[in-house]
Amino acid sequence: MSHVIGIDVSTTATKAILLDDRGTVRGVATSTYDYEIPRPTWSEQDPRLWWRATIEAINEVLEATGVSGSAVEAVGLTGQMHGSVLLDSTGEVVRPAILWNDQRTAAECDEMRRRVGAERLIRITGNDALTGFTAPKLLWVAAHEPENWSRVSHILLPKDYVRYRLTGGFAIDVADGSGTILFDLANRTWSDEVVGALGIDRSILPPTYEGPEITGEVTGEAATSTRLTEGTPVVAGGGDQSANGVGVGAVAPGVVALSLGTSGVVFAATDGPSIEAGGRVHAFCHAVPERWHMMGVMLSAAGSLRWLRDAVAPTKSFEELADGAKEIPPGSEGLIFLPYLTGERTPYPDPNARGAFVGLTVGHDLRHMTRAVMEGVAFGLRDGLDLMREAGLEQPRQIRASGGGMRSEAWRQILADVLEAEIATVDTSEGAAYGAALLAGVGSGWFDTVDRATDEYVTVKPVACPSDEVDLYRSTHSRYKDLYPALKPHFAAGADEVLTQP
């Protein structure tokens, strides 16, 4: 039996899944790590953690399943988007990677709009300059760490650092590449205009590939570390959201996906670039050749529930919190939560946005707070879906959902009611890693297109339908939308106080 491996380099762990040629996940292994917060709103990670975790995860999944590395036909890669991995001429890490949820680059975003032109930037790249993206991070390093910037010979994204360690070569897929906002979205490659306006040397950017294309082969050194066979092909893969789209079968127009992980994403495939005029909804290349996608992103989705657990109830499990939330009626008895704990991207591209509970009384307890967090996250996802509808997306009848938050029955029902769509899951919970494995399967010749791979291997199961609470949630969502504009001045003032502290 033939196999492929999908590797997902996420913010807190690297996962390896082993998929056989019948579409069955034979094994899953995960190796965890932390990220650093050197200052408020900053987020960094040592890329070498990803490689060590990749070695551990691949070895563990092969050992646990008893499958030899020689039975693995190809490797697919996915991972957290937008991180800035800077390497010198010898391939050594110059500084810790600045991650997707880092918010330090507001001034650099303004500088990008000035150099390229705000409307022109959106027209070329499909996106406004936002703090989470890669390009403003590069400007920040150039401005604040010129000695480090002078050493940079290669720019990669997180999963592509793992690719470099596997193959010894530099490459990037078009889906992740478009998330740097250095891309010509329509032409699916680097934009000479944007790259030139920002003063970035084109030679330090890697070659671009479509998701199922082979980008290199496992080296002898990497084979020794991972137990893979030297010469095993490594395909391009995709950023975590496009790979998750593949993993749940959202590869053609009409299928909408939702990811409820640390961040929250609403995702829809398109036949061409669909650009929201204000850049509030992201437009990227898909990991599927000749396809694009729209995406609304909130930075703290299931991450908001993790914060609540860690800060307020560290002895509670997530299951206990979710069970408590089911005891509280929809609307959380007037309590509303704004999930902007790490700033926000959609619908408010504001690094100064902050989380808040509004409406607390002595009658509220942890159960209310938990349900309010779940509902607030759902409202944030609804904001993104509404913007995508304004950009031309039809209201979906079904949304295919994945991520750790989907284990909660209460949260699934809340999402169905707030998004006014049937919520379905697929027959694997591995999301992006499964999508990376499918791309590897296409690259190794199992299928001639990604569409055929997903038609064959992705099975959909409805898990929640809109209930009689839809009208109540429409009303509560309307109140929710009033809160950010009202609190925005206070968020900005609070951020200024943090920045001026010694």
Taking only the tens place, the pLDDT of each residue in 330-359 is 999 999 999 999 889 899 988 889 999 999
At residue 500, the pLDDT reads 47
Task: Please give the structure tokens belonging to residue 245.
Answer: 């789209």
Query: What CATH code is assigned to 302-384+469-500?
Result: 3.30.420.40
Give percent of the chain above pLDDT 90: 86
Q: Name the pLDDT band for 403 (thresholds 50, 70, 90).
A: confident
294-337 pLDDT, tens digit per residue, is 999 898 999 999 999 999 999 999 999 999 999 999 999 999 99
- Specify the DSSP class assigned to residue 405: G
- Specify the DSSP class assigned to residue 29: E
Strand, helix or coil for residue 74: strand
Identify any residues that bridge with 44 across adjacent strands, giving them in sequence order: 36, 98
At residue 263, the pLDDT reads 87
Angle at 106 between CA 105 and CA 108, to 5 degrees: 65
Mean predicted lDDT score pLDDT of the chain = 94
Residue ranges of E strands in 162-311: 172-173, 183-184, 189-190, 208-209, 214-217, 233-235, 238-239, 256-260, 264-270, 282-285, 292-298
Task: Please give the structure tokens belonging to residue 435.
Answer: 């999508």
Please give the class, per CATH, of domain 249-299+386-464: alpha beta
Identify any residues that bridge with 25 across adjacent strands, giving them in sequence order: 19
User: For 463-501, b where at least 16 C-beta lie within 10 A, e where not — what string?
Assistant: bbebeebeeebeebbeebeebbeebeeebeeebeeeeee
At residue 498, the pLDDT reads 54
Catalytic residue numbers, as ranges: 240
Neighbours of 86 (CB within 10 A): 26
Query: Which string of DSSP letters, residue by residue, matches 198-227?
Result: TT--GGGSPPEE-TTSEEEE--HHHHHHH-
Architecture in CATH for domain 3-242: 2-Layer Sandwich (3.30)
162-173 pLDDT, tens digit per residue, is 999 999 999 999
Q: Name the pLDDT band for 79 (thresholds 50, 70, 90).
A: very high
172-185 pLDDT, tens digit per residue, is 999 999 999 999 99
Query: Which string of DSSP letters, residue by residue, matches 431-493?
Result: HHHHHHHHHHHHHTTS-SSHHHHHHHH--EEEEE---TTHHHHHHHHHHHHHHHHHHHHHHHH
Strand, helix or coil for residue 287: coil
pLDDT at 360 over 50: yes
> If you average pLDDT over residues 233-237, what whole number do you get?
98
At residue 502, the pLDDT reads 46
Strand, helix or coil for residue 192: helix
How many residues appear in the chain? 502
Fold identical between 3-242 and 249-299+386-464? Answer: yes
Task: Establish whether the linkage from the previous residue to 136 is cis, with ω within 30° of 0.
Answer: no
**Greater model confidence, 342 or 160:** 160
Give percent of the chain above pLDDT 70: 99
247-267 pLDDT, tens digit per residue, is 999 999 988 999 898 889 999
Task: Please give the structure tokens belonging to residue 100.
Answer: 């997707």
Three-state DSSP string of 420-442: CCEEEEECCCCHHHHHHHHHHHH
pLDDT at 394 over 90: no
**Every domain of the chain and the residues it spans:** 3-242, 249-299+386-464, 302-384+469-500
The answer to whether 312 and 368 are in contact (CB under 8 A) is no
- Cβ contacts of 493 within 8 Å, gap of 6 or more: none
> If you average pLDDT over residues 221-238, what whole number do you get?
98
> If you average pLDDT over residues 449-453, what whole number do you get?
97
